[in-house]
Homo-oligomer: A and B are copies of this chain.
């Protein structure tokens, strides 16, 4: 069944009026007709089966008929990722959504090149990925913030997995053994962290350093690998 994120409140009998792009997608791209069923979710009220009641020129209208899933959200995992060039950043957003990150915080580090970031565009990518992957929520994407400020304001109860290219860090699976509670993963820029940043990270009590193997990984690969290992070792990929 086609899945669509909608902003509308969802309850039995609720009417949903799709926006222009979604209407075009349903009526013209997917060629759905009156009486057809699609699945809708809004991040609050679970997933609903909705029947198409009108496919007019202006808008497609739906009526919610039956709740298919109750609202839930993935485990409390955040991804902190240095701003990298747009194609790789977009890949990271798509994959973080599929891999169940609850929130993505974009980070400016000392070696981050200034790149223009369009949060709106990244949110569209996250929304489409959520529709495709079967999530009931869209990960929040936060405007870029300085790493130093994020660390200054850090919630000490949240552990931060620091994927450290150098040094004596443990393999990720060892570092994550027995992990519980809220976590975040930090992925640096392709130029790595500055000595000052590494020192700050390595001396913070909430930071768990870990290594992602013997080869050099691009930022998108490192993000996907770390999210995968966290979900498999501590998240909802365990049974």
Please report A residues at the B interface, Cβ cutoff 8 Å.
74, 91, 94-95, 98-100, 132-135, 170-174, 211-218, 221, 224-225, 228-229, 231-233, 235-239
Contact = CB atoms under 8 A, between A and B. Distances in A.
Nearest to A239: B171
7 nearest interchain CB pairs?
A213-B237, A225-B228, A133-B215, A224-B224, A173-B232, A228-B228, A134-B216
A212 B237 contact: yes
Contacts of A134: 214-216
5 contacts: A98-B218, A133-B217, A134-B215, A171-B239, A173-B237
B135 A239 contact: no
A98 B238 contact: no
Contacts of A74: 215
Contacts of A171: 232, 237-239
Contacts of A215: 74, 98-100, 133-135
Nearest to A170: B239
A233 B133 contact: no
A229 B235 CA distance: 14
Given A133-B216, A236-B214, A237-B213, A225 B172 contact: no
Contacts of A95: 221, 224
Contacts of A216: 98, 132-134
A127 to B, nearest CB: 15
A47 to B, nearest CB: 13
Nearest to A97: B215
Contacts of A174: 239
A119 to B, nearest CB: 22
Contacts of A224: 95, 221, 224-225, 228
Given A228-B229, A229-B228, A232-B229, A217 B173 contact: no
A98 to B, nearest CB: 5
A94 B213 CA distance: 16
Nearest to A223: B224
A173 B213 CA distance: 17
A27 B211 CA distance: 35
Contact of A232 (B132, B172, B239): B172
A217 B172 contact: no
